Amino acid sequence: QAVKKAISEAALQYTKPEGKVFEYGTAGFRMNADLLNTVVFAVGLLASLRSKKLSGQWIGVMITASHNPAGDNGVKLVDPMAEWEAYATKLANAPLDKIADVYDELVKEIDVKVTNPARVVFARDTRASGSRLAGVLNAALTATEVEFVDFKFMTTPQLHYVVRCKNTLGTQYEYGEPTEQGYYEKLVNSFKKVMRGVKVQGSLTVDCANGVGGPKLRELMKTLAGIDIKVVNDDVINPDALNFDCGADYVKTKQRAPPSSKAGTLDRCASLDGDADRLVYYFQDESNVFRLLDGDRIATLAASFIGDLARNAGIASKLKIGVVQTAYANGSSTDYIEKVLKLPIICTNTGVKHLHHAALRFDVGVYFEANGHGTVTFSENALKVIKNTEPQSPAQQHALESLQALTDLINQAVGDALSDMLLVEAILAHKGWSPKEWLGTYTDLPSRLVRVEVNDRSIFKAYDAERKLESPAGLQGTIESLQSRYNKGRSFARASGTEDAVRVYAEAASRSEADDLATRVANAVS
């Protein structure tokens, strides 16, 4: 009862934007930062419920809008589940004078023991609105008597790391020291181990999207040895610089380097996004053509390397290695994985939670969205096999040790641009590859992604891992007949989970065919 009163009083400090309906989307709640107070408050209440339900497990809340413009912000739970997203939506839409009642109803509906402890950690990216929203979250957690730690500025993956560490502390699955420093130590030490006997060639220019990844990369570099990193776009003072003409999303969607880039021909470049959970690589080739190495490329590189190591370690038959992609993966990458790497592939719905979940079905699950968000998961069995196999030769021992170090280098909790970057650097060093050789593994099909504004995107219902539409009626047939007219034509349309729009993707054997197919399908959609 006292808690209910505290919730009511705290909630009434805020004003709900009129007529706005909130929905927990692909990446949590995300919108103009001015509209978010009551949403963040609701997520605070939800985090408290979820932690109590899990008998005091640590729950993470991240305040970020990732690659969105600087004026936006957002909030997401670390590791939410489908039904909890519905509870989040319910709380976020409750009138403020009723929110304590809705909280109470949820306590009953979810069967939460209110006397259980609740523990929450939270952090935010560098957006100007972040500190205000952290204050709102603080108020919701205080009202519900939650034990919490405010980690201030962190990348999204750093917060995931801390949550995993805290929840495995003292168990046989202990993940690491639950601090930012512990995160750097784990990366630096495992990178050193993976790099035994090899050297990174040349320098790496890292565009930090003027976001939280900038200062965090600099922090990492204080103890990281063996890579010559040039940090660019790390201005977190000017609030409007975030994601502006830079960052992984810019590079991937515009298919060009940030205009500020001064990198030379064949120089290795990478871009992070605003909360440092996405990573893409790129370079300028000898003819000054921009060459992108996106999430599909990172996935194929990682899968091929881990496959080689498993064979060299003599444990390939004991590990089921697989790759998880979405419909946005370039068809050539899918072909390469199936025909050259000979690995199984699962295609899932868009959104990393779907990919992550599917990856857990493999012993080693490599998952990446084309836009650069992804990681590698290792099953309990994989960790055991890697740890307990007796090497029969020095070569086997070296492979086993490298695999062991990889399991520490890779942030298995979530896609992590900094960890993925060290992974790519290590693999390129092992293979002795420049980005040109990496690009040479296969040739991407030209592709086009178009955003189509429609009256009501909810009528676009997809199936078959979002590769087909069941409604509106007839549209799927139209798309199929269009794509059949193009050499290697493939196209699909789906409602975005983060924006009020439908996305159309098309690829085909040539640039003009891909563009043409995309335009025609977009016309059919609108």
Asked if 37 touches ligand NG1 (CB under 6 A), the answer is no
Write b or e for each residue in 450-467: b if 16 or more Cβ atoms lie within 10 A of its Cβ, otherwise e. bebebeebeebebeebbb
Q: Which two tokens stand for residue 488?
A: 């290697």
Asked if 371 touches ligand NG1 (CB under 6 A), the answer is yes
Of positions 4, 6, 14, 26, contacts ligand NG1 by CB under 6 A: 26
Question: Judged by CB, which is closer to ligand NG1: 116, or 496?
Answer: 496
Q: How far is CA 471 from the centre of its chain?
A: 29
Asked if 457 touches ligand NG1 (CB under 6 A), the answer is no
Of positions 497, 509, 515, 519, contacts ligand NG1 by CB under 6 A: 497
Binding partner of 273, given Zn ion, ligand NG1, none, CB within 5-8 angstroms per partner class: Zn ion
CA atoms within 13 A on the CB side of 281: 26
Binding partner of 275, given Zn ion, ligand NG1, none, CB within 5-8 angstroms per partner class: Zn ion
> Of how many residues is the chain composed?
526
CA atoms within 13 A on the CB side of 283: 18
Asked if 496 touches ligand NG1 (CB under 6 A), the answer is yes
Asked if 66 touches ligand NG1 (CB under 6 A), the answer is yes
Helix (H) or strand (E) holding 501: none
Asked if 492 touches ligand NG1 (CB under 6 A), the answer is no
Q: Which two tokens stand for residue 317?
A: 């038959």
The annotation status of 498 as a binding-site residue, yes or no, is yes
Asked if 156 touches ligand NG1 (CB under 6 A), the answer is no
Question: Judged by CB, which is closer to ligand NG1: 205, or 330?
Answer: 330
Radius of gyration of the chain (CA): 23
Q: 39 to each of 5, 44, 182, 191, how far by Cα in Å? A: 19, 9, 31, 39
Q: Which two tokens stand for residue 501?
A: 């729009």
Binding site for Zn ion (CB under 5 A): 66, 273, 275, 277
SS3 of 226, please? coil
Write b or e for each residue in 417-427: b if 16 or more Cβ atoms lie within 10 A of its Cβ, otherwise e. bbbbbbbbbbb
Binding partner of 277, given Zn ion, ligand NG1, none, CB within 5-8 angstroms per partner class: Zn ion
**DSSP state, residue 273:** -
Of positions 160, 291, 490, 503, contacts ligand NG1 by CB under 6 A: 503
CB of 249 to ligand NG1, least distance (A): 8
**DSSP state, residue 199:** -
Q: Comparing C-alpha atoms, which of 44, 3, 16 is closest to residue 139?
A: 44
Of positions 177, 185, 235, 499, contacts ligand NG1 by CB under 6 A: 499
CB of 447 to ligand NG1, least distance (A): 11
How many helices (H) and strands (E) the chain has is answered by: 18, 19
Q: Which of 48, 51, 66, 402 is catalytic?
A: 66
Question: Judged by CB, which is closer to Zn ion: 252, or 520?
Answer: 252
The annotation status of 317 as a binding-site residue, yes or no, is no
Helix (H) or strand (E) holding 271: strand 268-272
Sheet containing strand 490-495, edge to edge, reads 447-452, 502-507, 490-495
The annotation status of 497 as a binding-site residue, yes or no, is yes
Question: Judged by CB, which is closer to ligand NG1: 48, or 349?
Answer: 349
Examine the residue annotation and report whether 66 is marked as an active-site residue of this protein: yes
CB of 248 to Zn ion, least distance (A): 8
Binding partner of 291, given ligand NG1, Zn ion, none, CB within 5-8 angstroms per partner class: none
Asked if 27 touches ligand NG1 (CB under 6 A), the answer is yes
* Widest Cα–Cα separation across the chain: 71
Q: Residues 231, 211: contact at Cβ < 8 Å?
A: no
The annotation status of 273 as a binding-site residue, yes or no, is yes
Amino acid code (one letter) for 245? D
CA distance 311 to 393: 13
What residues contact residue 322 under an 8 Å CB cut-off, 6+ apart? 343, 344, 345, 346, 359, 361, 362, 364, 365, 366
The annotation status of 370 as a binding-site residue, yes or no, is yes
Q: Which residues, 317 to 336, sit near ligand NG1 by CB under 6 A? A: 328
Binding partner of 234, given Zn ion, ligand NG1, none, CB within 5-8 angstroms per partner class: none
CB atoms within 10 A of CB 129: 21
Using the contact rule CB under 6 A, the part of the chain among 13-21, 181-189, 419-427, 495-503 near ligand NG1 is 495-503
Using the contact rule CB under 6 A, the part of the chain among 157-165, 202-210, 338-346, 366-374 near ligand NG1 is 366-374
Residues that bind ligand NG1 (CB under 6 A): 26-27, 66, 328, 350-351, 369, 371, 373, 496-499, 503
Task: Extract the annotated binding site.
Answer: 66, 273, 275, 277, 369-371, 494-498, 503
Task: Extract the annotated binding site for Mg(2+).
Answer: 66, 273, 275, 277
Residues tagged active-site: 66
